[in-house]
A and B are shown apart, each in its own frame.
Chain A
């Protein structure tokens, strides 16, 4: 069932277009990297603040509100370009364990992001232990997704 979905995706006009165009895949990869800079860079800044390593004279919610839009932009760019890359060779991805590792980590990271991380902006200052947990959780999950992406290429 899942396999036929992957097969279907690869044969949509969209998937075929990226697969068969000369520069489509390469350009999509560049968008993926731009998204990475926005998303991971933003999560990194937020985590630094949560850990009390930077901008400590400003409330957490203020930085969270400032970064929120940019992080979301990065996330949208990553997901859109990621789906595009996947659609162009979905069938091959189906066989790669590290692809599934990346997707599993991504789902966890997304859940964490929208349930825990994003709630920061509406809350008062979380307690130190909670801050540590949120920062480490976010960094571990998102860099885990990134690691999975590189592992697809090398392992």
Chain B
């Protein structure tokens, strides 16, 4: 029974391994971010840090009277490139809306598992689900 299950597991594995590639990040999503702290806001793209181990899109927004810059975390450049995302897909000055989750560390400006929407088109850059 055990052997059979392992065999099936391996079979499924090899099969799925051939399929296309979703996005992933360097360290795990659950390690840094808190699923119970969702956040969404509108803002302006300040800077794109297109780099390993994962990219950051800096988005400036207003919270009351304060201006806050969030760092929206994405996947590794390689994974994003395969998905069609380029370094200049988003440009500084672009108006975007962001939906994601906050980091466990309350002082961290990082946003995980995020979807960035520009002109009504959602640009998926975080991790799936």
Does any Cβ of A come within 8 Å of B31's Cβ? Answer: yes
Does any Cβ of B come within 8 Å of A154's Cβ? Answer: yes
Binary CB contact string for chain B from 86 to 129 against chain A (1 if under 8 A, 0 otherwise) = 00000000000000000011000000000000000000000111
- The residue on B at minimum CB distance from A103 is B13
Cα–Cα distance between A2 and B26 once the two chains are bound (Å) = 25
CB distance from B56 to the nearest CB of A (A): 16
Binds B, one of A20-28, A33-41, A128-136: A20-28
Binary CB contact string for chain B from 44 to 81 against chain A (1 if under 8 A, 0 otherwise) = 00000000110000000000000000000000101100
Contact-residue size bin, chain A (C-beta under 8 Å from the other chain): 20 to 34
Which residues in B have their C-beta under 8 angstroms from that of A104? 9-10, 13-14, 17
Number of A-B residue pairs, CB cutoff 8 Å, is 86
**A155-B79 contact given A19-B35, A104-B14, CB 8 Å threshold:** yes
- The residue on B at minimum CB distance from A22 is B104
Cα–Cα distance between A111 and B6 once the two chains are bound (Å) = 10
Sample of 27 A–B contacts (CB below 8 Å): A2-B12, A19-B30, A20-B30, A25-B27, A88-B28, A89-B28, A89-B29, A92-B127, A92-B129, A95-B128, A95-B129, A98-B17, A98-B24, A100-B14, A100-B15, A103-B9, A103-B13, A104-B17, A108-B10, A152-B24, A153-B25, A153-B53, A154-B79, A155-B21, A155-B24, A155-B76, A155-B79
